[in-house]
Chains A and B, each alone.
Chain A
Amino acid sequence: MIEVSHLTKRYGDHTAVSDLSFTVPDGQIYGFLGPNGAGKSTTMNIMTGCLAATAGSVVIDGHDIFDEPLAAKQRVGYLPEIPPLYTEMTPAEYLHFVGRAKGLSGEKLKSEVGRVCRRTDIVPVQSRLIRHLSKGYRQRVGLAQAMLGDPSIIILDEPTVGLDPAQIIEIRQLIRDLGQEHTVLLSSHILPEVQAVCGHILILSHGKLVASDTPDNLERLFAGQTTVRLTADGRADEADAVLRGIAGIRYTLEPGETAQAVVTADDPQAGPDELCRRLFFAFAGAQLPILALAADRASLEDVFLELTQDGGSSPAGAQAPALRAQDVVGPGGESLAGGDSLPQGDEAAEASAADAPAGGDAGRQTPAAPAEGGDEA
């Protein structure tokens, strides 16, 4: 259990973290999400005792990190953004050193080092110098170091940065496994990652907490409008003519020869099913076959951009909280693998993580959610 309350960190005039409060209950995987420079690393450094806070408190399993640093640190395993490895040592030597420094000794030390080596799969390389290991293995050694001593809380700062897609999948699986026995807090600026692993997301922007909810709820909160993406077998002007004949919609044609359009219903309450039906009959009447028709779903990416770009306005817009998860038809948005519910956004999402955040959702229109000034495209 981590309780962070009114945490503030200032560097001179610059406020890195401002009045941050949240609680991470036991046995969950929490994701810290935010663009670079949002204050994720700073917060994590404070939570692990590496940095002092300007104000506020961090309580770990009942021990304040500033008042009882040794007791609190005993309960936390930390993997910083750059794994703190002594490259002239071998993983086995390094882990023995960290284990001893954490107060383990004798048989207990040996069995703990063996356990974390097996868990992180570094047994084959444990007697090679760390400087000769690949980035993936170094990350695992760093992770093994954090797991030593079986701390109840494990804090991971961008654990998959710089890894290849296969390694990312492995590390994520490992984190999911860790979540079975430990409370895990991980940070990332990559959405699909947090979505794939975490049960709860904390979105941080400019040092402030702008949202805290499950991935599903966050998406629901932001799915305000019904938008449908359509591709027809014809020319753009033909599609234009058909669309012009349908009442109660707005649309934009994608530039180019083929008939592609993004269609939005004027009535925000109208479901995507109804809109799809009307489009189908209109195009059928015009002898223009529809090749693809997909309801756009507000992806977490939209939520993320929405929350973090305009200085973090409150997500609770007037027309936002419409329950729409079950309304989704057809294949979902590109970044979400399959139309089913989220947390296990599997291999497809995993692989796309490497080139996220920009890549995942390239041709998307402005964010679907209604907010004050959300079009940054």
Chain B
Amino acid sequence: MAVATTTPRRPRGRRTQWQVFLSALYRNKLALFGVVFMITLLLTMAASPWLPIPSPTRINLAATFQPPSAAHWLGTDENGRDVFARLLAGGRVSIAVGFAAALLTVVIGSALGVLAGYFGGLTDRVIMRFTDGLLSVPVFFLLLAVVAIWGSSITVLVVALGFTRWMGPARLIRGEILRFKAMEYATAARALGAGHLRLMVRHLLPQAMPALIVATSIGVGNVMLIEAGLSFLGLGIAPPTPSWGNMLTASQFYMWTAPHLAVYPGVMILLSVMTFNTLGDVLRDALDPRLRSSGS
């Protein structure tokens, strides 16, 4: 505990959370590289309507498998479509699905995690047993079944991924709630007459915010990998809508004639997933170093 002195409450040299984050980011070169990559990518995607690139869906069978040129920066694919434009359009879909599904996993995970941590006892045991149990089920097969029965669309994908990947966030948030529940401010709020719901939503959940942010970042990477796998198998994002996963499906058939087509989408997935994973590590270190050992 600090000794009481005459220093003001916010002493000089104390850094804001933002500064802590930036310096942690600067120390993790891989994450720094990832963030620069992601910002560049997002800006390019946002600017794509004004860039001199063709439509990602314009087919030109007279100009298939073109090498890179001024008109086609990364050449063209098997249908003569511009590869660069498709990478941008596909990225928009893949990243959007990743974010939407990761947010859903965090919403479901925090609802269950807060309930388990706050009420404890039987509620906690039932929820956590179920969480651990679902962790031991091969979720990919479950997703195959969902897509086979419901057909695949972006909505089905987001909902299915959200409902099958919430276990990590739930465990993380539960641990946080257990910690904050025991603190004086929670007792004080209860003494002042705050009900269960108010305590959970207004007092405990906001404290777990750093954990939520970390879980979202790591979740985006995980979800993007699964979405890419499903789309690659033809069970995720369906053509003609491009996604990085389904661009690789086609490349599979041109491994002999145009192996370079297999490189670009894969590199994009790799870099994006790496960005969100390492960013998760940095956020964890910067926002809440105590989370480091508990993992996700």
Q: Do A and B come from one complex?
A: no
Which A residues form the contact surface with B (CB < 8 A)?
none
